[in-house]
Amino acid sequence: MIDQSRLLRAIDLRFKLPNAVRFLERYDQEEKKPKPSVAHRKLRRLGEQDIDRVVEVNQQIGPESFAKVFIRHQVMAEIDPGGPPKDIMHEYFVGMDALKSHVFLDVELRGSGNIFNQLTITLDRLLLDAFNDANPSGSMCSINLNVESVFTRAFEVFLESKADDAFSNLAFEFRQANVLQQYDKYEVAANLIASKSGAIAIDAIFPETVGIVNMKRLNANMAKIFWRQGAETILPGFAKEVDEMQRNGTRVILARVDDDLGIEVGHDLGITMFQGFHIDKLLSSRDH
């Protein structure tokens, strides 16, 4: 039951020697920092009162300030082999780092089970309320929601505030596991979004599960595969499935990319859309 990836980090030095050096340098720096006292590090489990606290903070500061403090965005970039990264769209989401810094100072969010799911549905509502403040220009973007959130009053209000084609620059990201759990609701939600010219992205597809879910049947415009440890050996075995997705009209995005190897493997699979901290660094270097 122990997630050993939290205890160990395996680095294949044949491919990732520079990454290994950087990781060890960062680790050494972290170890040299003063450690907080045990009292300061004691955390409690997430509770329903914490969800109420987030809602209260939002009411106190308003959607505009909530967007500035709590809503994050990350670019999805087109990178052709040998070419520079090009901004395509941004994903907007409520940053857990911001919540931990401002609201959940003494709360352990991991391992909170159903309470955490309830929290994410509440955060969906707050994201929808503040979305126009987060993306006032209406530029091409995506928002990550639970399927259940499409059936809330917050989504209804969000929908009413838009023109019939107002979702033409907007993609709704739903986690693959959530889609399977709520498939009946997903079908209704997907049809509603399509009727408003919106796009659907299936999020959180792990390398081992590529091809298990039929993206064409889900009418998915995009599929986001998470890059993680070992993906460089797993994903090549699903080249056929990735190719079939893209031939059927589902654009594949490799997300959470943290090194050049992710881009190399992606290109080998015919993927040219990427997202992750490494992509952020490439774009930052390009701009400077």
CATH number at residue 102: 3.20.20.450
Task: Output the pLDDT for position 135.
Answer: 92
Three-class DSSP labels, the chain: CCCHHHCCCCCCHHHHHHHHHHHHHHHHHHHHCCCCCHHHHCCEECCHHHHHHHHHHHHHHHHHHHHHHHEEEEEEEECCCCCCCEEEEEEEEECHHHHHHHCCCCEECCCCCHHHHHHHHHHHHHHHHHHHHHCCCCCCEEEECCHHHHHCHHHHHHHHCCCCCHHHHEEEEEEHHHHHHCHHHHHHHHHHHHHCCCEEEEEEECHHHCCCCCCCCCCCCEEEEECCCCHHHHHHHHHHHHHHHHHCCCEEEEECCCCHHHHHHHHHCCCCEECCHHHHHHHHHHHC
Asked, for residue 54, whether it belongs to a domain, the answer is: yes
Tokens of 206: 């792990």
pTM of the model: 0.83
Asked, for residue 103, whether it belongs to a domain, the answer is: yes
Asked, for residue 215, whether it belongs to a domain, the answer is: yes
Number of domains in the chain: 1
Asked, for residue 135, whether it belongs to a domain, the answer is: yes
Task: Output the pLDDT for position 34.
Answer: 57
CA 276 to CA 260: how far, in whole Å? 11
Asked, for residue 30, whether it belongs to a domain, the answer is: no
Asked, for residue 213, whether it belongs to a domain, the answer is: yes
Task: Output the pLDDT for position 111.
Answer: 73
Do the bridges between strand 86-94 and strand 141-144 make them parallel or antiparallel, or are there none, so unpaired? Answer: parallel
Q: Domain range for residue 128?
A: 44-287
Which parts of the chain have pLDDT scores under 50? 1-7, 35, 37-39
Q: Characterize 208-229 residue by residue with b for buried, 16 or more Cβ atoms within 10 angstroms of its Cβ, and e for exposed.
A: eebeebebeebebbbbbbbbbe
